[in-house]
């Protein structure tokens, strides 16, 4: 019984940490690298006839060239709202509307801008690591509760805490690896 409860705590911890990693990946995807990518704009909220709707629900995206993103709205009546939202999002992009599609040309990043984006990505990575540590802290509290409620032995608690530390270290290493990849992508000219 006790081992089942411990495994439930560990499984929950792994699941929460995986979600934290996915969140970090999503945050990294919103940082512009100089290459065209729909992930920068697909979650932009568009005022679509009075309802806030994500752009990915209103349009298709294509990348015909490395620095060009083409947004093809399903409803041509939403063109102005989409264009306005992209302009107001402060992404450093100027939408070009030809009445059928919206073209977003991604300018090359200056060295200063690249370094600024690296700082932003590092901050997001640190926030991800803090979230992972929070998950570990929550799991430790659950294990302490199991100790009180179910009389888990000190040896068992030590064993579980070592497992929690190992899981946390592995996930923090994953964040570091993702950060390194994103930094390389940002600093690539």
Domain CATH number, residue 61: 3.30.1360.40
Residue 189, pLDDT score: 61
Specify burial of residue 40 (Cβ count, 10 A radius: 0-12, 13-18, 19+). buried
Alpha-carbon gap, residue 97 to 79, rounded angstroms: 8
Name the pLDDT band for 2 (thresholds 50, 70, 90).
Answer: low
pLDDT tens digit sequence for 4-38:
888 898 999 999 999 999 999 988 887 767 677 77
Q: Which helix (H) or strand (E) holds 78?
A: none
When divided into structural domains, the chain yields a total of 2
Paired sense of beta strands 59-65 and 68-73, if any:
antiparallel
CB-based contact 70:54 (threshold 8 Å): no
Q: Quote the pTM value.
A: 0.71
Q: Which residues constitute the domain of residue 70?
A: 38-105
- Is the domain of 8 the same as that of 43? no
Domain boundary pick from 105, 128, 160 = 105
Reduced to 3 states (helix: H, G, I; strand: E, B; else coil), residue 57 is: helix
- Is the domain of 73 the same as that of 90? yes
- Is the domain of 131 the same as that of 162? yes
Which range, 12-16, 81-85, 157-161, has the best average confidence (pLDDT)? 12-16
């Amino acid at each position: 019984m006790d081992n089942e409860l411990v495994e439930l705590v560990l499984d929950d911890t792994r699941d929460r940490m995986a979600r934290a990693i996915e969140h970090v990946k999503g945050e990294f995807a919103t940082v512009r690298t100089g290459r065209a990518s729909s992930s920068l704009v697909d979650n932009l909220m568009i005022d679509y006839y009075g309802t806030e709707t994500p752009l990915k629900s209103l349009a298709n995206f294509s990348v015909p060239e490395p620095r060009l993103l083409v947004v093809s709205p399903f409803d041509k009546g939403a063109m102005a709202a989409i264009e306005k939202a992209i302009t107001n999002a402060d992404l450093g992009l100027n939408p070009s509307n030809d009445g059928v599609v919206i073209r977003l040309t991604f300018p090359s990043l200056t060295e200063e801008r690249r370094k600024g984006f690296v700082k932003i990505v590092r901050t997001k990575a640190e926030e991800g690591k803090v979230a992972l540590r929070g998950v570990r802290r929550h799991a430790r509290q659950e294990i302490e509760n199991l100790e009180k409620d179910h009389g888990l032995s000190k040896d068992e608690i030590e064993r579980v805490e070592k497992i929690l530390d190992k899981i946390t270290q592995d996930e923090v290493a994953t964040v570091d690896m993702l950060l390194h990849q994103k930094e390389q992508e940002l600093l690539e000219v």
